[in-house]
Amino acid sequence: MNRARHLLAALACAAACHAAQADRSRLADEDDVIEAGDCELELAFERQNARGAARERETSIQFGCGIGWRTELAATFARKRSDAQREQAIGIEGKTSLRERGSGGVGWSLAYGIGSERDGGRGPWRRGERFVAIEATHQPASAWLVEARLGTARDPVARSDRTLWLLGVEHAITEAVEARAELEGDDRSRPLASMALRWLVWPEHAVVTLAWGAGLGPLRERRLGLGVTFEF
């Protein structure tokens, strides 16, 4: 069971590495970061279950803003609960645009972050993983966006490193509904495949996202998530 828990934690970290602005529509914007002075608040709920492990529920809140210099920063607080334990996590993530996509070009960004966690909401905070990743995006048509990411994460407590990767595709079904499919993983676990529907309830102001994911391995991990993002 401990092995299953460690694997779930690793997959959760891999997902967190691109959590910043995951629910924001990027199909109508040539840049992959928030403009200076703009901010976003995201509230999310996720349920996870896997063979041999207790069902987990996670709630999180993330606040991010564009700070200029083609950079955005986001702070995240998450609370995870299962039948056996409670955990809290905080993190700071950033993304810097190195090159805009432009018309038919490839956009390049650098993502990075650091986190901390504790058990039960009372104990001391422990240093969590640090990560850095390079991201490439390409928009072959106005309704399509292709994304690839490659990075590394360092666990200072376990003194171990992981290589992270992701491939994703976004498509605008209508003016108000977008779909996303992605495959992500690392060099220490099996990949996770996921699908998401993004509903622009109030374009440029409010977005609702429903996501489902499945681990491609014997643990049969499943995830179901709901997120609401407010842009201002």
Query: DSSP letter at 58?
Result: E
- pLDDT at site 155: 87
Token couple for 119: 């058990």
pTM of the model: 0.84
Q: What percent of the chain has pLDDT over 70?
A: 89
- Residues 81-116: pLDDT tens digits? 887 788 899 999 999 999 998 777 899 999 999 999
- In this predicted structure, what is the pLDDT of residue 12? 43
Q: Give the CATH number of domain 2-231; options: 3.30.70.150, 2.40.160.40, 3.40.1160.10, 3.40.50.720.
A: 2.40.160.40
